[in-house]
Amino acid sequence: GQELDLKLYKGDTPTGDYPAAVLILFSGNHSRYDLTGTEIRLDTQLHQAFGKRKLFEVLVTGNHNHIEGLKVRDIGDHVPTESAIMLTVMGDHNTIRKADLFIHGSSPYGYGHLLGKGSGALVPLRKHSSFLVAGKNTKVLECRVVTHGFGHGIVMQGAVDTLIKDCYVEGEMRTTDDMLAEKSGPAFEAGFKSDYPPGQIVPGQIKCLAEDGIRTYEYGKLVGRRTERVVVENCTIRNMRSGVCLGFEKGPSRIVDTTVIGSQERGFSIGTGGVIEGCKGDAMYGPLLTFLGPKAKNCRIDLELMPATSKFPVPRLLEVNGRGHVITVRRHEGRERPEEVPMVFGESDWGDIHLFRAPDSDPRKYSGAVDCVLTNLTGMPVVFSELAENCVVVTDSGIIRDRGKNNKVMKTEMKHRSQLVRNLEAGKPQTVVTLGTSITENGAWVGDLAKALETAYPGQATVLNSGASGKNSNYGVEHFDRLVISKKPDTLFIEYSINDCVDRFDLSVEKARRNLEYMIDGTLARFPQCEIILMTMTPGNKYEPGHRSYRKDIEKHYAMYRAVAKERGFLLIDHYPKWCALQQSDPAQFSRYVPDTIHPRAEGNAAVVSPVIIHALGIPGSF
């Protein structure tokens, strides 16, 4: 071990020394360390060996290093004299892979944040965090963090462009009944007071004994810069205060394919422009999703609610605050949650805490939801608070309470018949937008549809073609405003699955679904009455693996369209089975209609595609 004086910064200006000590220092550059099979056991008596200095158990100050297989264990119960962090990465362009950390030794421990977590804590704090990232372009891969200390799991302060992938973070939980049964100790000596509402430790609750699983702070005093951009991918966080708590950094950040189990305060949070996709959580003890105040804007959220049964009440399932978010929450694997917990617009635990500490402050400083859209496919009730305005909910739940202003609700129970035709019969002009691949851009079915509508309803329907040859749903998402929103659709056709499954695009069914849901939710957010029609197309099975046009998992992509249509109550026009039947019964005819098994010729459209569309919509007359 050695003592050193780091610098503290405010902006680019040093403001003072940071007395520190380090046990294991990686200070070199462009090195590779493979520590696989080695376990470093640190006697916690070392926590008190350096006086009042902050302790870095393992510190990386070098750049462009790859450190693999670092396994560190705290052995014993001694707490730091000041504070400790097990692993800190201050250098730039470092990769930490397969680190395995076990943290022990902090004070107080056993009460979570109830006795305070900052300068105003009710008792002296000697915290012990697990993994601090402060460098640029740090990759944290396949790491495991188990903490039995009061501090964060993986935390970023001044870090820029951090990737956290395939990692696991776990803490411990404890009931307040156990805390209140104590006859000595810091909580007992403080009269069981708390720094959190209602000001006392109350029975019947459960608290995480550590802090957040993956967390950002706005600024890093050790490196003198703001935290920026984080990607969290395929991680699991269990029994931490919060799962993935982003939003303090300069974004946009992304959370992808991540699972949060047993979080106390929140499962997920994110800041302006952020994306949460393919993620799930059980909301066992706290909300699945929270926005930290009303400042976040234009986030895209796709979450699954896992079933859970807990004897500890969860006040809110979602806490929606901010402006312009598009959020979808659905049941995980279609499984229902037994207890009803409301999804709330314009309230949050974050706001509750601040108003408890400063009851005369304006609640709009901490909460408020404006122009947000939620697609709720969980069966859970929805509540608009007084601070919710101009929000839209598409829901499968009939339970709605609205104390806000100008909020709208749509039910997903749509009959499988054409809203387009009903509106035209009522004399309402309609704009139809067709979105998809070359089968749409160059497909005769679009012109056939326009002719049929003009014949039946002269001058009432406008058909706009937004198809694009060689493109998939990534393109649809990227150019969504131009392709769809700018055209103000009353009816929107979507057919991307024939290209989403092209092997060279490497687009999974799950990602294709997220893209589809994004386009659906974005359309309904702006045009809640828009009718959305999904279509499958041709077999596309002429080419073998290795060919640039090979279609991988095409049936799974088509099945996903069917599933989304069923869940949403949308009209599905399923051309694929008819094409497959023709290919089997009359291969020669099929080849004349679709020589490459992908793009129907005009006569193929006229024989198979267009009649099915026109019949499904209920357009009068014959084709």
* The one-letter amino acid at 377: L
> What is the Cα Rg of the chain in Å?
28
DSSP assigned state of 592: H
Contact 294, 319 (CB under 8 A): no
Distance between CA atoms of residues 28 and 13, nearest Å: 25
pLDDT of residue 411: 66
Distance between CA atoms of residues 257 and 240, nearest Å: 18
Distances (CA, A) of 273 to 112, 230, 318: 31, 12, 18
- Strand-strand pairing, 144-148 and 318-320: unpaired
pLDDT of residue 623: 56
CA quadruple 569, 575, 576, 577: dihedral, nearest 10: 90
Q: How many CB atoms lie within 10 A of CB 46?
A: 20
In whole angstroms, what separates CA 477 from the centre of its chain? 17
How many residues appear in the chain? 623
CA atoms within 13 A on the CB side of 491: 28
Distance between CA atoms of residues 28 and 145, nearest Å: 25
Strands (E), 412-485: 430-436, 461-465
pTM for the complete prediction? 0.72
15-42: string of b/e by CB count within 10 Å (b at 16+)? eeebebbbbbebeeeeeeeebeeeeeeb
Contact 203, 176 (CB under 8 A): yes
The segments of the chain whose pLDDT lies below 70 read 334, 411-417, 621-623
Distance between CA atoms of residues 529 and 366, nearest Å: 32
Contact 300, 326 (CB under 8 A): yes
Distance between CA atoms of residues 614 and 619, nearest Å: 6
Q: Which two tokens stand for residue 103?
A: 């943290």
Q: Which two tokens stand for residue 284?
A: 């066992």
pLDDT of residue 412: 56
In the numeric block, the tokens 């009718």 are attached to 531
Q: How many CB atoms lie within 10 A of CB 334?
A: 11
